[in-house]
Amino acid sequence: MRTYKYLPLIVGLFTATLVITNILNTKIFILGGFSFPAGILIFPLSFLAADALTEVYGYRVTRQVIWSGFAALLLMAICAYAAIYLPPAPFWGLQDSFADLLKQIPRIVLASILAYWAGEFCNSYVLARSKVKTSGKGMWLRFVTSTMVGQAADTGIFMIIAFLGVFPPREMATLLVSSWVFKVLWELVALPVSVPLVRKLKLMENEDYFDRDTNFNPFKLTIESKG
């Protein structure tokens, strides 16, 4: 398998975005009368990174990156929960606030792991398949449609697992719809930047992979060689 100059940088950004999102999602904020989890401010970057990964390097590489992000989220949840039960120093008076905040993380991370897993694979699958069908044309449309599908899966699963029983059904529905719309709009606004960047990345990496013979099984962790 060939090596890529910029792939580690994108993987690092992708993983960092996932971890930061799950910390920020412990807060819900109001904007324009609509409620959002604070992680929505940065989470769309993970879908932009996934778009770049799939468009340039192919689904087979993105699949491994998604699983590495899965492992990072799981590790964060375990460490956060363990930190709650470490004996606090006598002079440190924030144990209760610290515990109240971090106790939300395991449930949020569980929701995020399942939602992220489904959403990212849906996003990457739609993008990879549509790239082959369009012979690589209409990148901006592929980015938007794959995000619409992926974010629908991600947002729906996350909201149900993370906040069911926490918020009333009406607020849950508002939170779900407003978050999905926000993420899709975020993708649209970012297109003038994301599309040229991905095109530039293809040139710099000398790669524009088409998943014509790819095994799309999400559990296949080995990368098949290019035939």
223 part of a folded domain: no
Domain housing 73? 7-205
Phi-psi region of 165 (alpha: psi -120 to 50; beta: other; left: phi over 0): left
Q: What domain count does the chain have?
A: 1
At 174, which amino acid appears? Answer: T
214 part of a folded domain: no
181 part of a folded domain: yes
227 part of a folded domain: no
222 part of a folded domain: no
Is pLDDT of 222 > 70?
Answer: no
Q: Tell me, what CATH number does 17's domain have?
A: 1.10.1760
If 0-12 CB within 10 Å is exposed, 13-18 middle and 19+ buried, where does residue 119 land? buried
Report which of 41, 66, 197 is spatially closest to residue 119, judged by C-alpha positions. Answer: 66
- CA 16, CA 12: separation in Å to the nearest integer? 6
226 part of a folded domain: no
211 part of a folded domain: no
**Mean pLDDT score of the chain:** 85
Q: What is the pLDDT of residues 33-66, one digit of tens each?
A: 777 778 888 877 877 888 899 999 999 898 888 8
What does pTM read for this prediction?
0.79
- CA 17, CA 65: separation in Å to the nearest integer? 13
224 part of a folded domain: no
